[in-house]
Chain A
C-alpha cells in the first residue's frame, strides 16, 4: 500500500504545475534595470521568459500577457509595472527600480523592493564609517516631512541628531542656510523636490556646505562633482536577487514591499582628506568605489 502511495505521489509531482514566471523590463538599455535583471537571471532557479517594453507596442504587450497568462510577473521600472497591473492585476506582481512606489496602484498580490533605502540603514552606515559625526542636517519641504520625521526618530537609536531645515517654494534663499549650517557637522542630501526644482538654490547650498567643509552625503554619484564625501545607494544587483529570493522562498508572511537589502557605497577619500574628516581605515573594504 505504502509503495503504491509513493508511486502515485511521485507521478503527481512529475506533473505538478510550477508557476509560470514572466519578467517585464521597462528598458534593457538602462544600466540600473539591466543590473537587476541580470542578477535575477543568474539567481533564479526556475524557468522564466522575458519581454522588454521599450521594444514593443502596447497591443503586443497586452497580447503577450493574455497569451502567456503567467502566474508571477516581475516588473523592472514603472512602465513595466503599469502594463502588468493594467492587463493582469489578478496575478502576483513583483516590482523593483521604481522611484516613490507608493504612488502606484496596488493589489493584495503586489510585492516588491522599493528604490529608496531604509533611513536607519543609511544612518547606521554613516555611523559605522564616520563615528565622530553626531549632527546631520537635512533639507526638507512639505513633500518630505514624513521622511524627515522618520530620520529624526531613527537617528535617536544611533545617537545622531538630525537637524531639519524646511524650504518653501519660491521664498527660500541661501541667506537662511547660514545659521542652519552653523549647527551641523554634515549635510545629507535627499531627493527633495522643492529644493531640486530650484537648481540655483541647490547649487548654492552645496557650495556653501563645501565652503564650510561639511561632510556631504548623498544618494547619487552625480553629487561627487559637488563635493560629496559619501554616496549611499541601493545595490541594483542585490535588488534583482532579492526579488528572486522573495519568489523562490514562497514566504508571504514577510513585508510585501521591502527596502533594498544591499547597499552600494562610494567614498570620496580626496574630499575626506581635504576637509579633515575622520574615517575608520579598517573599514575601507566596505566601499565599492574609492575616489582617491
Chain B
C-alpha cells in the first residue's frame, strides 16, 4: 500500500514539477530540423534529470523568454555580444570544431562581379547584413539579402545563377569544393571575415542555473550519443571559456 502511494507521489511530482529549460537560438547555425534536435537533446538530458531543450526560431520570442530566466542558453557569439549586458549573461562554454573555437565567413561569387544584386545567406538576416557591411563596407548598400535554409543552398544558388553572391562559413565552402569541385572551381572568395567565436553556452549572472547542466554540456563529447547531437549543431565539443576569450567576447 505504501509502495503504491509512493509511486503515485513520484508520478504526480514528475507531472507537476517544472523542468529546467535550456533555451536555444542561434543566428549562425542553419539547423533545419528543430524537432529532431529537441527529441535528441531531451532524450539525452533525461538521463540527468528534469531538463528540457527548448529551441526558438524567432529571436524576439527567444529574448522574451530570457527575461527572469534561470535557464542555460545556447546562442551565437554575435548575439551574445549584443545582449549579454541587457540580460546579465555570462559565457561559460564555447563551441569547438576541428580544434578551433572561431570560424570565418566568406563572400563567394563568380569572378569579376560588381557588388550589386542578391546575396544568398543561411544566417539570420540582421546578422547577414552586418557581415556584409564588414566584408564589403559601402558596397553592401547595393546588395539584397536572400535568406535560404542551408549554406549548401546558398552556394548552389550562386553556382546556378539564382544569386550573385553567397555568405557562408569557410567550412561550407570547403565542403562544396570536396563534393562538387566542378562548380566550386568557378567561384572565388571576394572577402573573408575576421575569425569569429563559435556558439556559446551562457547563464544569468544573477539567477544562476543548475551547475550540473554546464557539466553535462562540457562532457557531451565524451560519448557517442552526445557527439551525434553536437554534430547536429555542427560542432565537435563545448569547452570552458578562458578568461582571455571571455574578455574578447565582451568587446
Q: Which residues of A contact B (CB under 8 A)?
A: 43, 118, 120-121, 124-125, 127-128, 131, 157-158, 235, 238, 241-242, 245-246, 248-249, 251, 253-255, 258-265, 281-282, 284-290
Q: Give the shortest distance, in Å, between B141 (CB) and chain A (any CB).
A: 12
Q: Which 7 A-B pairs have the closest CB atoms?
A: A157-B182, A261-B157, A249-B144, A251-B117, A261-B162, A245-B146, A262-B148
Please name all residues of chain A whose beta carbon is closer than 8 Å to the beta carbon of B148 when the two chains form the complex. Answer: 235, 238, 261-262
User: Would you give the 0/1 interface string for B127-165, flagging 1 where the beta carbon is closer than 8 Å to chain A?
Assistant: 000000000000000011111111011101101111110
Q: Which residues of B contact A124 (CB under 8 A)?
A: 152, 156, 179-180, 183
Output the least CB separation between B196 and chain A (Å).
Answer: 19
Given A245-B146, A261-B162, do A127 and B179 touch, yes or no (CB 8 Å)?
Answer: yes
User: Would B147 and A238 count as touching, CB distance under 8 A?
Assistant: yes
Tell me the minimal C-beta distance from B152 to chain A in angstroms. 6
| B183 x A285 contact (CB < 8 A) | no
Chain A CB within 8 A of B60 CB: no
Determine whether the beta carbon of B160 is less than 8 Å from that of A285: no
Which B residues are CB-close (under 8 A) to A286? 32, 150, 152
Closest to B161 in A: A255
The contact of B234 among A157, A253, A259, A285, by CB within 8 Å, is A285
Nearest to B148 among chain A residues (CB) is A262
Contacts of A263 in B (CB 8 A): 149-150, 153
Residue of A nearest to B175 (CB): A128
Complex contact A248–B144 (CB within 8 A): yes
B33 engages A158 (CB within 8 Å): no
Residues of B within 8 A of A (CB): 29-33, 35-37, 116-118, 120, 143-150, 152-154, 156-157, 159-164, 175, 179-180, 182-183, 228, 231-234
Known contacts A118-B156, A245-B163, A246-B118; can you find 8 more A-B pairs with CB under 8 A? A124-B180, A157-B180, A249-B144, A251-B164, A258-B162, A261-B162, A286-B150, A288-B149
Nearest Cβ on chain A to B37's Cβ, whole angstroms: 8
Query: B164 to chain A: closest CB distance in Å?
Result: 7
> Are A128 and B144 in contact, CB atoms less than 8 angstroms apart?
no
Cα of A128 to Cα of B172 in the assembled complex, Å: 11
For the complex, what is the distance from the CA of A120 to the CA of B156, rounded to whole Å? 9
Pick the contact of A249: B36, B117, B231 (CB < 8 A).
Answer: B117
Q: Which residues of B contact A251 (CB under 8 A)?
A: 116-118, 144, 164
